[in-house]
Amino acid sequence: MDIDELRRLYDTYERRGANYPRFRREESETVVRMIALDEGEHCTVIFSSLNEVNADAAIEGELEYFARIGRRFEWKLFSHDDPPDLKAR
């Protein structure tokens, strides 16, 4: 197994398939969100499937979504996530 296969498996089972106690899982075309059931807890974008074309709109959409529901969130970002400049955006 090479590093790319290991990353793919991690993304599939630990990010895309994430389901945590005390969180509601929400999935859109571009992200998987974990919404804390306790409103005092942070929410998380646990996975994103973005590219150069859709990244800016998806980021703006998540900022709007969490502002609309009045919740703080963290975007979990890994070095192999696309696009390569995702963190800078």
In the structure, what pLDDT confidence band is assigned to residue 89 with cuts at 50, 70 and 90?
A: very high
For 33-67, how does the pLDDT look when each residue is reduced to its tens digit (9 = 90+)?
A: 999 999 999 999 999 999 999 999 999 999 999 99
Contacts of 41 (CB under 8 A, 6+ apart): 22
Contacts of 23 (CB under 8 A, 6+ apart): 34, 35, 36, 37, 43, 44
Query: Residue 59: what pLDDT?
Result: 98
pTM: 0.90
**Domain residue limits at 50:** 40-89
| Number of domain units in the chain | 1
- What is the percent of the chain where pLDDT is above 70? 100
Task: Output phi, psi for 58, to 5 deg.
Answer: -65, -40
Mean pLDDT, to the nearest integer, of 8-26?
Answer: 96
